[in-house]
Structure 1
Amino acid sequence: MFASIGLRTALRSSCCVLRESSAVSSAWSVQPLLTGPSVSRGSFAIPPPVRHYARVAKKKKPGPESQLSDLPPTLLKKDYAAVPLAQTTDDVVKRLLSLELASHTEKLQLKTEQLIAKVQRDESDHHSVEVQVAILTARIRNLQEHLQKHHKDKANKRRMLMAIDRRKKLLKNLRLVRYDAFEKVCEQLSITYTFPPEYYRRATRRWLAKKEFCIKVFKAVQKQKAEQKLKMKQELSSTGAQVAESKATETQ
């Protein structure tokens, strides 16, 4: 009887020890993963669950103002601006025909027409130098806005540089031929014309020696040409004298 009672007490004590050891091991296994103030339940500390907060959204830097930002959304598209029926339709159709739902290409066409209207000579002018400068200006500004967002687009960068060079040539010729039209174009389109830099070369010793040698060669060649011209004149004069003498003898 006493043996059975002793076995029961030993088994109870061993079960309690096992429960305590398992609870402690579970607490130690969770403790390094959880943070925050712990909550005590009985004789063991249970930490609270971890809260993973989202990152703060980065504020986008405001980019430069687009050339299409001054176009009102209620303005009709280019193809429907001259149609009188488009002005009297309901609001849904007007919204479909306006710039509110227009594509970027349609907005760019309308902006190009506005720039052309500022500088063209008359209503039938579509191929003059001023109109070509206006078209190139709209294209260049559109490519500049595109490259500010996609700076690795090499193909469009090449197209923009080619358009800039073409516009420079047109403005240079217009400045030489019609200066008043050149000033009007620059003022209406907000273009700043900069003169090309003067040619500059570093004067090294080798360049100075080469230049001096070239000058000597040039002078020697000019001297030889002068001597040849003098010989030719002497030969012509001697042949002329001989011809005159032969004529005189024939007449006698």
Structure 2
Amino acid sequence: MFSNIALRAVLKSSVGALRESAAIPRTCCSALLSGTRFSGASGSFALPAPVRHYARTARKKVAGPESQLSDLPPTMLKLDYTAVPLAQTTDDVVKRLLSLELASHSEKLALKKEQLIAKVQRDESDRDSMEVKVAILTARIRNFQEHLHKHHKDKANKRRMLMAIDKRKKWLKKLRLERYDAFESVCQHLGITYTFPPEYYRRVTRRWLAKKALCIKVFEEVQKKKKAEKLKLKQSTEAAKTQTASP
């Protein structure tokens, strides 16, 4: 019974609202859309101004680092055809097919590696020296950096890049200790900035600080004890010398 009474009350209120909305003149549509107040039979009310959804502006692309392959001219022949004399005198269409204009990224990277190796190798047959290994790792690291700038969520290539950086650090450290002049020339020709690693890598925590303070305190106490023992031994030796010197 109570549910029927509530249902009838809701229906009456909705019918009244529809009648009041029908009584609004059409001339007030512009006023309603502009957000102005309107006074009708049931009182005055105001509608909010319509929200205009404009198109979102295009985001500006962030300019990344310059590619290491940008200095390779497109007319240069691929690595496999540079030593072929017939490739220099062939037709223009064939020469274009053999040039870097239609080459893949891996072919361009291989040519860039050879250019970096030629800058630092000791002689023409040198392929296993530390300078050559540093040049190969440098080309690989820069290629990973360009890739990660576009695909920053590629965790696998990021891990490979960090492993290559650590390996290059080891080779540069070894080269710096053995042949410092070669180390300087490699850094200059390849554009590498060598930074010294920090002296200590351990993370500072409260536990580590407390343990360090305890170790320092123990060390000082041990040094005091050793100093007292040395002084006692010195006094005993001096007393023994005085006893032997006296008649």
Report the TM-score when normalising by structure 2: 0.64
Change (3 A) 1:55 1:195: closer
- Kindly state the Cα deviation for residue 217 of structure 1 after the two structures are TM-superposed: 7.5
Other-structure match for 1:128:
129
> Equivalents in 1 of 2:223, 2:99: separation in Å?
71
Identity of aligned residues (%): 73
Post-superposition CA distance 1:183-240 (Å, at most 9, x none): 11000000011111122776834421134336768999xxxxxxxxxxxxxxxxxxxx
Distance across 2 between alignment mates of 1:82 and 1:68: 21
Q: Does 1:97 align with 2:101?
A: no
Report the equivalent of 1:199: 200
Query: Whole-Å Cα distance in 2 between the matches of residues 117 and 152 of structure 1?
Result: 34
Describe the shift of the 1:219–1:53 C-alpha distance in structure 2 as closer, same or farther (beyond 3 A).
closer
2-structure distance, mates of 1:200, 1:168: 16
Specify the SS of the correspondent of 2:159: helix
Paired amino acid for 1:98: S
Alignment RMSD (CA, Å): 3.3
Residue identity matched to 1:204: L
Are residue 152 (structure 1) and residue 153 (structure 2) matched?
yes
Gaps of 5+ in 1: 1-20, 33-51, 221-252
Report the alpha carbon displacement of residue 54 of structure 1 after superposing the two structures with TM: 6.0
Runs of 4+ in 1 over 4 A off after TM superposition: 52-56, 200-203, 214-220
* Amino acid corresponding to residue 154 of structure 2 in structure 1: D
**Aligned counterpart, 2:64:** 63
Match of 2:213 in 1: 208
CA distance in 2, matches of 1:165, 1:205: 32
Q: Kindly state the Cα deviation for residue 63 of structure 1 after the two structures are TM-superposed.
A: 1.8
Counterpart in 1 of 2:107? 106
Aligned to 1:116: 117
Q: Which runs of 5+ in 2 are unaligned?
A: 1-21, 34-52, 226-247
- CA–CA distance in structure 1, aligned partners of residues 88 and 196 of structure 2: 48
Question: How many angstroms does 1:56 deviate by?
Answer: 4.6
Greater mean alpha carbon deviation, residues 89-98 or residues 126-135: 89-98
Superposition deviation, residue 91 in structure 1 = 1.3
Q: 1:219 to 1:161 in 2, by over 3 A?
A: farther
Residue range with higher mean Cα deviation, 165-174 or 200-209: 200-209
Distance 1:200 1:90, change over 3 A: closer
Question: What SS is found at the alignment partner of 1:204?
Answer: helix
Identify if the C-alpha distance between structure 1 residues 219 and 147 changes in structure 2 by more than 3 Å, giving closer, same or farther. Answer: farther
Q: 1:162 to 1:96 in 2, by over 3 A?
A: same
Counterpart of 1:209 in structure 2: which amino acid? L
Q: Within 2, Cα distance between the matches of 1:156 and 1:200? A: 25
**What is the Cα deviation at residue 68 of structure 1?**
0.4
State the alpha-carbon separation in 1 of the partners of residues 115 and 172 from structure 2.
20
Alignment of 1:23-102 (within 5 A): 56-102=57-103
